[in-house]
């Protein structure tokens, strides 16, 4: 049986598979998509308990508002992008190019910040899409990561009839 990474303060089973949660001080620092065989781990702190509760609420109803303090580690530029991602309303998408115009940078730089997002779902990088379609997710343009992006967009749209 595989060992649980001791750096995770919780590992939970979700509709998207196993998620590993890392906390810092009194907030959330990381969310990782893990291999399906990763064993679950009960939350080891009050912050991890709250993160699990908020994620479970989100998976039941995507209109949930995440209220947990977030402590993503990144550059000043990345943090600026991540703050902007949190302003994209649930159920809507914006293109990399539109964000780039708003923030006076390039679409590629927006994609790089999305790829480096340590708190997917909580910081909704899945709501950023390409002009031609989905774009990427977690650094991938095909495969399970893109399936995750599609699932999240459909979940938030409230129907499988979404264009994604």
**What distance in Å separates the CA atoms of residue 109 and residue 71, rounded to the nearest whole number?**
21
DSSP letter for 24, please.
Answer: E
Output the CA–CA distances (angstroms, integers) from residue 146 to 19, 68, 135, in the order listed.
16, 26, 8
**Torsions phi, psi of 161, nearest 5?**
-85, 5
Indicate which residue of 48, 51, 107, 125 is catalytic: 125
Asked about 49 being catalytic, the answer comes back as no
Residues contacting residue 141 through CB under 8 Å, at least 6 positions apart: 135
**The token pair that represents 34 in the structure block:** 């893990």
Instruction: Return the CA Rg of the chain.
Output: 15
**What distance in Å separates the CA atoms of residue 65 and residue 54, rounded to the nearest whole number?**
8
Residues contacting residue 26 through CB under 8 Å, at least 6 positions apart: 47, 69
Give me the active site residues, please.
Answer: 125
């Amino acid at each position: 049986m595989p060992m649980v990474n001791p750096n995770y303060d919780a590992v939970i089973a979700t509709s998207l598979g196993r998620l590993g949660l890392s906390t810092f001080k009194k907030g959330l620092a990381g969310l990782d998509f893990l291999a399906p065989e990763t064993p679950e781990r009960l939350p080891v702190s009050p912050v991890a308990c709250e993160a699990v509760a908020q994620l479970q609420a989100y998976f039941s109803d995507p209109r949930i508002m995440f209220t947990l303090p977030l402590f993503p580690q990144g550059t000043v530029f990345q943090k600026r992008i991540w703050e902007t991602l949190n302003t994209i309303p649930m159920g809507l998408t914006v293109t990399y190019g539109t964000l780039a115009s708003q923030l006076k940078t390039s679409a590629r730089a927006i994609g790089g910040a999305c790829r480096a997002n340590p708190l997917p779902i909580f910081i909704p990088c899945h709501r950023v899409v390409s002009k031609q379609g989905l774009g990427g997710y977690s650094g991938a343009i095909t495969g399970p990561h893109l399936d995750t992006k599609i699932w999240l967009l459909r979940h938030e749209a409230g129907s499988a009839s979404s264009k994604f």
